[in-house]
Amino acid sequence: MIALEGLTKRYGEKVAVNNLTFEVRPGIVTGFLGPNGAGKSTTMRMILGLDHPTSGAVRIEGRRYAELRDPLRTIGALLDANANHGGRSAYHHLLCLAQSNGLPERRVREVLDVVGLSAVARKKAKGFSMGMGQRLGIAAALLGDPRILMFDEPVNGLDPEGIHWIRTLMQRLAAEGRTVFVSSHLMSEMALTAEHLVVIGQGRLLADLSMADFIQRNSRAYVRVRTPERERFLDVLRSAGLTAMETGGTLELDGVAAEQVGELAARHGLVLHELSPQQASLEEAFMRLTAESVEYHAHSDTPPAGERAPWGADWKKG
């Protein structure tokens, strides 16, 4: 379990992480989402004690990182997937880490096997492809057989096979009862991997909810209409007991089929320029959620995204 309490990090005027409070629970993959610059890496560095919070605190199984008796056995992390592992072989890189942390050589061979690098273990890591480098970084995170794993953008730059492998590995680690916390700026990837979501924008918590809730709230089907006879169309809708939401020149109707709307318009001789069934994608929902946070910061009189319909005050739910 990782617990953040009012975690804040300022760099001069810049508030990179703004009063974050949430928990990352064991047994599931928790996706940590936010657009570029949202504060994900800064948060993860503070969890590992690599950066000091301006205020607030992080607890890993109830302790600060610096207080952990056996840090590598408690939490393993892949923070910079592109880090150069230097002129050492993969085997020696991991062996140095193992020896300096009191871990047996056996673990080196085990993790090389888990990440599929056994065959190239004696090759110099600096000649590795990006995917192999990422596998080596993950091997290092797994070395202490930790109960908590944290991966910062692990699939960046990977091919589909590598992405599938990482996804399966994270789900397996969670199924073993570990806490798995993984950041990404891609909603579509997280939808396939994570069971729970924490979304931040401009350092603030925007959502803390299960993936099932996110999908249920955002798999919204609606009908989009454009008409040059807007007022008359709205009157006709009202008399039929229907309502429409206006979004930038188009009208969106929930809970009604496109056929019904078309027939209603025809009965009243209304001209429609567009009548199309729509399905909101999760990526769109995520972009909309995070875009609202940017808007909020640009116009301080606008309430936070989490308090506005249709995304609703109930976004922040466990």
Residue 185 found at the interface with ligand ATP (CB under 6 A) = yes
Number of chain residues interacting with ligand ATP (CB under 6 A): 12
**Look-up of token digits 């880490």:** 97
CA–CA distance, 117 with 306 (Å, rounded to integer): 44
Is 272 within 8 Å of 250 (Cβ atoms)?
no
List binders of ligand ATP among 42-61 (CB under 6 A). 42
CB of 153 to ligand ATP, least distance (A): 7
Among 18, 41, 290, 293, binds ligand ATP (CB under 6 A): 41
Instruction: Provide the 3-class DSSP secondary structure of residue 82.
Output: coil
Among 31, 39, 53, 306, binds ligand ATP (CB under 6 A): 39
Which lies closer to ligand ATP via its Cβ, residue 135 or residue 204? 204
CA–CA distance, 231 with 234 (Å, rounded to integer): 5
CA–CA distance, 166 with 86 (Å, rounded to integer): 23
Q: Which range of residues in 33-41, 105-113, 136-144, 301-309 is near ligand ATP by CB under 6 A? A: 33-41
Among 4, 20, 38, 79, binds ligand ATP (CB under 6 A): 38
Question: What tokens were used for 50?
Answer: 């690599």
CA–CA distance, 261 with 240 (Å, rounded to integer): 10
CB of 15 to ligand ATP, least distance (A): 8
Which lies closer to ligand ATP via its Cβ, residue 28 or residue 38? 38
Residue 116 found at the interface with ligand ATP (CB under 6 A) = no
CA–CA distance, 179 with 3 (Å, rounded to integer): 12
Residue 11 found at the interface with ligand ATP (CB under 6 A) = yes
Which lies closer to ligand ATP via its Cβ, residue 99 or residue 188? 188
Alpha-carbon dihedral 310, 228, 255, 199, rounded to 10 degrees: -20
Sign of CA dihedral 38, 39, 41, 44: negative
Which lies closer to ligand ATP via its Cβ, residue 34 or residue 146? 34
CB of 38 to ligand ATP, least distance (A): 4
Angle in degrees, CA 84, 87, 89, rounded to 5: 95
CB of 14 to ligand ATP, least distance (A): 5
Which lies closer to ligand ATP via its Cβ, residue 14 or residue 172? 14
CB of 48 to ligand ATP, least distance (A): 13
Return the percent helix, strand and coil in the chain, to nearest 5: 40, 25, 35
CA–CA distance, 1 with 51 (Å, rounded to integer): 20
Alpha-carbon dihedral 290, 294, 295, 300, rounded to 10 degrees: 130
Which lies closer to ligand ATP via its Cβ, residue 40 or residue 147? 40
Among 31, 40, 53, 58, binds ligand ATP (CB under 6 A): 40
CB of 308 to ligand ATP, least distance (A): 22
- Taking CA atoms, 314 is separated from 19, 207, 211, 309, in Å, by 19, 9, 14, 10
Is 126 within 8 Å of 85 (Cβ atoms)?
yes
Residue 205 found at the interface with ligand ATP (CB under 6 A) = no
CB of 261 to ligand ATP, least distance (A): 41
Residue 300 found at the interface with ligand ATP (CB under 6 A) = no
CA–CA distance, 201 with 40 (Å, rounded to integer): 9
Q: Which range of residues in 34-42, 136-144, 233-241, 304-312 is near ligand ATP by CB under 6 A? A: 34-42
Among 2, 18, 20, 34, binds ligand ATP (CB under 6 A): 34
Radius of gyration (C-alpha) of the chain in whole angstroms:
24
Residues that bind ligand ATP (CB under 6 A): 11, 14, 16, 34, 36-42, 185
